[in-house]
């Protein structure tokens, strides 16, 4: 038989209100009483009636997270960070995938709306913010964008400092002794543009000229990132004045670049040093350990969850927040300075 709130109250000779306050995390209950209640809840394997609670409070104590895919280390870290932030406050997290499809993303959002989540967190693939502005005008739950905010959207968002990614990667190669640094820049997106800006900034700060032939547009989305990185370095090695440093938009692209250099007899890191982005544990451990920029997926998710919690409890009309998360360079053998 299902255990009810009043059963716990009767067992402990406490009021239903006291039990409810403990389960909601309110602070006006003594530590001793909290310990008694939580111990009995665990013993009886009590499961709260979410539907009844929702009718009383207008909240379901759930949040929805829409990711472009499920399975990459980075996105798993983000989901874990969000879950950590919201579960500490009694919320459950519902995670779904848009399967890298903007139309399917909207269908997944509608499913989460039908479940009446209290907030929606999303890695959006939408090319504009029109869809989300319509949601906001309808007075639905808070929306928090993760990683980037679509043009025209006005909701709060948490993002990695993409310009800093490009800057610290290039800065590291310069400090390792590189003078001709190539950048495999990846897609023509806002994050890609900002990372390229950081690359140029680091070169400028060290009075090194930006050489257009070293900024490689790896722009064939039908090809794998590995092949784009491999082909880009093959082209660079065929030119006069080959690079002595290579930074890539992703770890997979950097691994492709590394294999191309090795296949052409170029020693790493003696003749060329490499830096990737993503700090994927598996990729960075392959072949020669790869220096990479850690894009702080767990911290990104943690701050996004915290921002969602503030949006739920915050006052209406409050200005949407933008939170920047700083990346960190993880040094490994691929970029070691050699004599």
Task: Tell how strand 143-146 and strand 119-122 pair up.
Answer: parallel
Contact 59, 118 (CB under 8 A): yes
Q: Contact at 8 Å (CB) between 124 and 105? A: yes
The beta strand positions in the chain, using DSSP E, are 62-67, 92-97, 119-122, 143-146, 157-160, 181-184, 215-216, 245-248, 273-277, 291-294, 322-325, 328-330
Of residues 232 and 46, the one with the higher pLDDT is: 232
Judge whether 236 lies within some domain: yes
Question: Residue 330 forms beta bridges with which residues?
Answer: 292
| 119-123, 199-203, 318-322, 331-335: least confident range | 318-322
Burial of 280 (0-12, 13-18, 19+ CB in 10 A): buried
Chain-wide mean pLDDT for the chain? 87
**H helix and E strand count, the chain:** 13, 12
| Residue 156, domain member (yes or no) | yes
C-alpha span between 331 and 245 (Å, rounded): 14
Number of folded domains in the chain?
3
One domain for residues 151 and 219: no
Residue 145 has pLDDT above 60, yes or no: yes
In this predicted structure, the answer to whether residue 270 has a pLDDT above a threshold of 80 is yes
Contacts of 148 (CB under 8 A, 6+ apart): 124, 157, 159, 189, 190, 191
Q: What angle do CA 153, 158, 164 make, to 5 degrees?
A: 110
DSSP string computed for 94-122: EEEE-TT-HHHHHHHHHHHHHTT-SEEEE
End-to-end CA distance of the chain: 74
Residue 84 sits at the vertex; the CA angle it makes with 157 and 98, to the nearest 5 degrees, is: 55
Q: pTM to 2 decimals? A: 0.75
Instruction: Give me the mean pLDDT over the 159-174 stretch.
Output: 96
Confidence label for 218 from pLDDT (cuts 50, 70 and 90): low
Neighbour tally for 331: CB within 10 Å:
13
Range of the domain at 150: 60-160+297-326
- In this prediction, residue 55 has a pLDDT band, given cuts at 50, 70 and 90, of very low
DSSP characters for 50-81?
HHHHHHHHS--SEEEEEES-S--HHHHHHHHH
Residues 116, 262: one domain?
A: no
Q: How confident is the model at residue 59 (pLDDT cuts 50, 70, 90)?
A: low
pLDDT of residue 129: 87
**Residues 13 and 113 reside in one and the same domain:** no
18 & 113 share domain: no
Residue 98 shares a structural domain with residue 166: no
CA nearest neighbour of 275 among 324, 217, 336, 326: 336
Rounded distance, CA 195 to CA 277, Å?
A: 11
Quick one: 275 and 227 in the same domain? yes
DSSP 12: H
CATH of the domain at 14: 1.10.260.40
Residue 199 is encoded by which pair of tokens? 């690359």
Span 92-124, pLDDT tens digits: 899 999 998 999 999 999 998 888 899 999 999
Claim to verify: residue 67 and residue 148 sit in the same structural domain? yes
Please tell me whether residues 32 and 114 are part of one structural domain. no
141 lies in the same domain as 103: yes
């Amino acid at each position: 038989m299902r255990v009810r709130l009043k059963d716990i109250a009767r067992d402990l000779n406490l009021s239903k209100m006291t039990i409810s306050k403990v389960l909601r995390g309110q602070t006006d209950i003594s530590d001793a009483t909290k310990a008694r209640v939580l111990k009995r809840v665990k013993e009886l394997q009590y499961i709260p009636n979410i539907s009844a609670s929702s009718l009383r409070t207008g909240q379901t104590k759930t949040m929805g997270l829409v990711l472009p895919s499920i399975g990459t280390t980075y996105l798993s870290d983000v989901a874990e960070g969000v879950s950590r932030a919201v579960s500490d406050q009694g919320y459950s997290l519902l995670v779904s995938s848009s399967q890298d499809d903007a139309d399917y993303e909207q269908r997944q959002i509608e499913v989460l709306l039908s479940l009446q989540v209290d907030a929606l967190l999303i890695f959006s693939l939408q090319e504009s913010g029109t869809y989300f502005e319509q949601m906001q005008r309808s007075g639905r739950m808070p929306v928090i964008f993760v990683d980037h905010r679509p043009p025209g959207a006005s909701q709060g968002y948490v993002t990695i400092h993409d310009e800093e990614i490009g800057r610290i990667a290039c800065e590291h190669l310069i400090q390792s002794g590189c003078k001709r640094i190539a950048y495999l820049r990846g897609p023509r997106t806002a994050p890609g543009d900002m990372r390229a800006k950081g690359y140029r900034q680091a070169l400028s700060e060290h009075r090194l000229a930006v050489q257009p032939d070293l900024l490689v547009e790896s722009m064939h989305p039908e090809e794998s990132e590995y092949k784009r990185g491999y082909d880009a370095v093959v082209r660079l090695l065929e030119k006069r004045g080959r690079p002595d440093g290579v930074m890539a938009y992703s770890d997979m692209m950097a691994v492709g670049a590394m294999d191309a250099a090795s296949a052409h007899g170029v020693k790493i890191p003696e003749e060329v040093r490499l830096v990737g982005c993503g700090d994927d544990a598996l990729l960075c451990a392959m072949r020669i350990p790869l220096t990479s920029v850690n894009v702080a997926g767990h911290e990104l998710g943690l701050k996004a969850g915290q921002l969602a919690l503030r949006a739920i409890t915050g006052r209406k009309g409050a200005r949407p927040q933008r939170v920047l998360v700083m990346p960190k360079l993880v040094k490994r053998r691929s970029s070691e300075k050699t004599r």
